[in-house]
Amino acid sequence: MGQKINPLGFRLGATQGHHSLWFAQPKNYSEGLQEDQKIRDCIRNYIQKNIRISSGVEGIACIEIQKRIDLIQVIIHMGFPKLLIEGRPRRIEELQMNLQKELNCVNRKLNIAVTRITNPYGHPNILAEFIAGQLKNRVSFRKAMKKAIELTEQAGTKGIQVQIAGRIDGKEIARVEWIREGRVPLQTIRAKIDYCSYTVGTIYGVLGIKIWIFVDEEE
């Protein structure tokens, strides 16, 4: 069997950087890690609760966290930032207050910035959310996969692979189905590959979606 490795961890330092940048002593490291997870969960929960999403896509590609002694800088990369910025004003300030309460950071300032991604459907997280929305609405999985591939081709990527595993279409026996379009060179370290794994709860059970997108190759 081929040994599968997370493509992002495999390329750290080559084509991939960390999503969290901070330094901690070994004894405080686990606290910092849990804090990061709390920040990410809190932002996702806030967006799910407070924003009416018609397409079922939240549009968060990734959340970057940079920590200094007196400041926590959170950068939310969104495909559709209008969802967060428009509608009610002061939404980001409200999110900031929620986070500060959650983290209970007294002597540290929290700063949230939202940046827009140019091609939202060229990012695996947003694509996985799109497929999850389709599967929840009982669309056939093949149709959902093909639609997702069409969307990425419009975003100008070089290749994509989508895999869905679990009780597909409510069948008794779980299975894995996948589809690939273009090149996805997982062995090549200089190939920039975006990856995400996403779980979606359907009425039959939990399905796992994995997406690999081949963005570009560095010379």
CATH class of 120-212: alpha beta
Examine the pLDDT at 33 and tell me if it is beyond 70.
yes
Report which DSSP code applies to 16. Answer: B
Averaged pLDDT for residues 165-180: 94
Asked if residues 73 and 65 have their Cβ atoms less than 8 Å apart, the reply is: yes
| Residue 96: Cβ-neighbour burial (10 angstroms; 0-12, 13-18, 19+) | middle
Domain boundaries, the chain: 11-114, 120-212
Asked if residues 212 and 184 have their Cβ atoms less than 8 Å apart, the reply is: yes
Asked if residues 217 and 196 have their Cβ atoms less than 8 Å apart, the reply is: no
Report which DSSP code applies to 3. Answer: P
| pLDDT value of position 69 | 87
Query: Tokens 């497929």 sit at which residue?
Result: 131
Averaged pLDDT for residues 46-61: 75
Buried-exposed string 102-122: b where 16+ CB fall within 10 A, e elsewhere: eeeeeeeebebebeebeebbb
Q: What is the pLDDT of residues 79-99, one digit of tens each?
A: 887 777 766 667 888 888 888
Asked if residues 160 and 181 have their Cβ atoms less than 8 Å apart, the reply is: yes
CATH class of 11-114: alpha beta
Q: Which strands, in side-by-side order, build the sheet including 109-116?
A: 20-21, 60-67, 71-78, 109-116
Examine the pLDDT at 125 and tell me if it is beyond 60.
yes
Instruction: Share the mean pLDDT of the chain.
Output: 89
Model confidence, pTM: 0.89
Q: What's the CA gap between 179 and 86, in Å, rounded?
A: 37
Q: Most distant CA pair in the chain: distance in Å?
A: 54
Examine the pLDDT at 219 and tell me if it is beyond 70.
no
Q: What is the pLDDT of residues 204-218, one digit of tens each?
A: 999 999 999 999 887
SS3 200: strand
